[in-house]
Amino acid sequence: MNPLVQLVIQELPGLISEIRSLFVTQNPGATPPTDAQVVAAYLAACASSIAVDDAWLASHPPTPVPAPPA
Protein backbone atom coordinates (compact mmCIF):
# COMPACT_ATOMS: atom_id res chain seq x y z
CA MET A 1 0.00 0.00 0.00
CA ASN A 2 1.13 3.52 -0.71
CA PRO A 3 2.85 4.83 2.47
CA LEU A 4 0.98 8.13 2.19
CA VAL A 5 -2.39 6.34 2.11
CA GLN A 6 -1.27 4.19 5.03
CA LEU A 7 -0.33 7.32 6.96
CA VAL A 8 -3.69 8.95 6.19
CA ILE A 9 -5.57 5.85 7.40
CA GLN A 10 -3.52 5.72 10.60
CA GLU A 11 -3.76 9.41 11.33
CA LEU A 12 -7.34 10.05 10.17
CA PRO A 13 -9.08 10.13 13.59
CA GLY A 14 -6.48 12.54 14.95
CA LEU A 15 -6.62 14.66 11.81
CA ILE A 16 -10.40 14.96 11.99
CA SER A 17 -10.34 16.10 15.61
CA GLU A 18 -7.62 18.65 14.83
CA ILE A 19 -9.60 19.99 11.88
CA ARG A 20 -12.74 20.23 14.04
CA SER A 21 -10.88 22.15 16.71
CA LEU A 22 -9.47 24.48 14.05
CA PHE A 23 -12.98 25.05 12.66
CA VAL A 24 -14.42 25.77 16.11
CA THR A 25 -11.60 28.28 16.69
CA GLN A 26 -12.43 29.99 13.38
CA ASN A 27 -16.23 29.91 14.02
CA PRO A 28 -16.76 30.48 17.74
CA GLY A 29 -20.47 31.20 17.28
CA ALA A 30 -21.23 28.07 15.28
CA THR A 31 -22.46 25.95 18.20
CA PRO A 32 -25.92 24.66 17.23
CA PRO A 33 -28.77 25.62 19.58
CA THR A 34 -30.20 23.01 21.92
CA ASP A 35 -33.85 21.89 21.92
CA ALA A 36 -34.49 23.96 25.05
CA GLN A 37 -33.03 27.09 23.43
CA VAL A 38 -35.14 26.64 20.28
CA VAL A 39 -38.34 26.15 22.31
CA ALA A 40 -37.50 29.18 24.48
CA ALA A 41 -36.88 31.32 21.37
CA TYR A 42 -40.20 30.19 19.90
CA LEU A 43 -42.16 30.99 23.07
CA ALA A 44 -40.43 34.38 23.35
CA ALA A 45 -41.23 35.16 19.68
CA CYS A 46 -44.93 34.32 20.25
CA ALA A 47 -45.18 36.38 23.43
CA SER A 48 -43.37 39.47 22.13
CA SER A 49 -45.19 39.33 18.81
CA ILE A 50 -48.65 39.29 20.39
CA ALA A 51 -47.64 41.92 22.97
CA VAL A 52 -46.81 44.38 20.16
CA ASP A 53 -50.20 43.68 18.52
CA ASP A 54 -52.09 44.22 21.76
CA ALA A 55 -50.20 47.45 22.52
CA TRP A 56 -50.89 48.91 19.06
CA LEU A 57 -54.57 47.90 19.10
CA ALA A 58 -54.99 49.38 22.59
CA SER A 59 -53.47 52.69 21.49
CA HIS A 60 -55.56 52.82 18.29
CA PRO A 61 -59.13 51.96 19.29
CA PRO A 62 -61.68 51.84 16.47
CA THR A 63 -63.44 55.14 15.88
CA PRO A 64 -67.01 54.83 17.22
CA VAL A 65 -69.65 55.20 14.55
CA PRO A 66 -71.92 58.16 15.42
CA ALA A 67 -75.48 57.17 16.18
CA PRO A 68 -78.02 58.27 13.56
CA PRO A 69 -80.11 61.29 14.62
CA ALA A 70 -83.36 60.31 16.25
Partner 1 sequence: MTIRQEIRRDLVVWIFVVYASVTSIGFAVQSCSSVAQPPPTLAPASIDDFHKTQAIQALDQIRNIAIAANATTPPQMSTASTRLVVSFHEATVKTIQAAGSGWPATIETAVDNFAKGLPAADATVIAPYVALIDALLKGLS
Interface residue with partner 1, options 54, 64, 66, 68 (CB under 8 A)? 54
User: Binding of partner 1 at residue 60 (CB under 8 A)?
Assistant: yes
User: Binding of partner 1 at residue 9 (CB under 8 A)?
Assistant: no
Enumerate residues 6+ apart whose C-beta is below 8 A from 30.
Answer: 23, 24
> Rounded to an integer, what distance in angstroms lies between the CA atom of residue 18 and that of residue 20?
5
User: Binding of partner 1 at residue 15 (CB under 8 A)?
Assistant: yes
- What residue type is assigned to position 60 of the chain? H
Enumerate residues 6+ apart whose C-beta is below 8 A from 8.
Answer: 15
Footprint of partner 1 on this chain (CB under 8 A)? Answer: 4, 7-8, 11, 15, 18-19, 22-23, 26, 32-35, 38-39, 41-42, 45-46, 49-50, 52-54, 56-57, 60, 62
